[in-house]
Structure 1
Amino acid sequence: MRKTAAMAALAAAAVSFTAPAHAADSEGRLQIKVLGTYVMPDGDLSKVKVDEIGLPADLKTEANDNFVPTVAIEYFLADSISLETICCVTQHDVDVSSGSLEGAELVSDAKIIPATLTVKYHFAPDGAIRPYVGAGPSYFIFIDEKPGKAAVGLGADKFRMNDKFGVALQAGVDIPVGDNGMALTLDAKRYFLKSSAHWFANGEEVISTRHDIDPWLLSAGVAFRF
């Protein structure tokens, strides 16, 4: 139910961006960005809450990086102020990064939808180079997550990560190409959020941990303003 509500809210926000503006902007109010995004999550283990199998005391974890296509939808409320949301799905494993279990896969192919809405300030909206900063809430939705091979070997048959709210900080630059509304764009986002991971065996929770997700999203691509 939470996932459905979050996706409905995101869709409503995206639709609202296309509402008519009170004053026409010569470059248009709506901007669409098509990007390639390198996702670098942390995945560091911050706390073990339940341990029924005897995990090593020095256990550390990390999540792998991924490269994904991304679409950003941006609506300009004014020349220097805009709202932006992004659409992408990224997939990650979580492995043990040190100790006797180093390299062991604990989480397999967890897919994440980083629902995000940022308010952006553009420093030079009419310039040849247009830098911006932004910030706003995020809601990470985890789907189709599975226990990794090592966790299955320890008896786990089900895995779940909790969806979580977080905060995103953003900075980037748009560089117009010609006068047709096209631009090159570079963007960096840093998210701050924690999530809990839960492994189950025969319906009983055997491991519960807390992780710092805190990913960087580094993007490059093209923008089209209408």
Structure 2
Amino acid sequence: MKLKYALVTGGSRGIGKAIALKLAEDLGYNILLNFHSDENAALETQKLIVAKQVRCELLKFDVSNTEEVSQLLEEWAIKNPENTIEVLINNAGITKDGLFIWTKPEDWRSVINTSLNGFYNCSQAVLKNMLTQRYGRIINIVSLSGLKGNPGQVNYSAAKGAVIAATKALAQEIGKRKVTVNAVAPGFIKSDMTADFDEASLKKMIPLNRFGETEEVANLVSFLASEKSSYITGEVININGGLYS
């Protein structure tokens, strides 16, 4: 029996975890859960996904490593000739915040490589099959920082801004094959990445007067991954409580 999978990068915690659970629950997708280092968190998330009555396989790789991504996903495809990856969620990302003048070359490269090269590596690895089967969903998790810029995050803003531009361009290339490419741009969402933020102060800038929940981002991604979104491509959808549009 042919099984349909969604690949979620950086899926062990935070927004990625919420997305993986929602795709399993709402759309019945089996999940390929990518993680880089936190195996314990990945195993815990795997248990929660399996409880949704779908399969969940863990894939440990660094999204910024072209050879590693290509090799592991090619090996998976060989072992699963009847199965297919219909949905790709490019969620993996890191921050190395600080004023640009003090940004070290390695902090610039690592942030760019994870978000931008991660998009390239993972999308390249699954796109040919999506085009062949004439169906697919690529959803890139970007950021408010990539749209308006954010002081102290020049590297992160550059990385996410580049993925936004790539989203729009790729959508135009492959739309005829019924493969859509969209981006979701969260604002302040409660997660590990915002744990050290001054929520009490920052929420005063947000019209809805609160940080968002990871599940709210996951709800949007679930819609974009479904057939209900079949006429939406090349879009960047904000989910930020009205902070920026």
Q: Give yes or no for TM over 0.5.
A: no
Output the TM-score relative to the length of structure 2: 0.22
Q: Which has the higher contact order (CA 8 A, sep 6+)?
A: 1
Query: Greater share of helix residues, 1 or 2?
Result: 2
Output the TM-score relative to the length of structure 1: 0.24
Bigger CA radius of gyration: 1
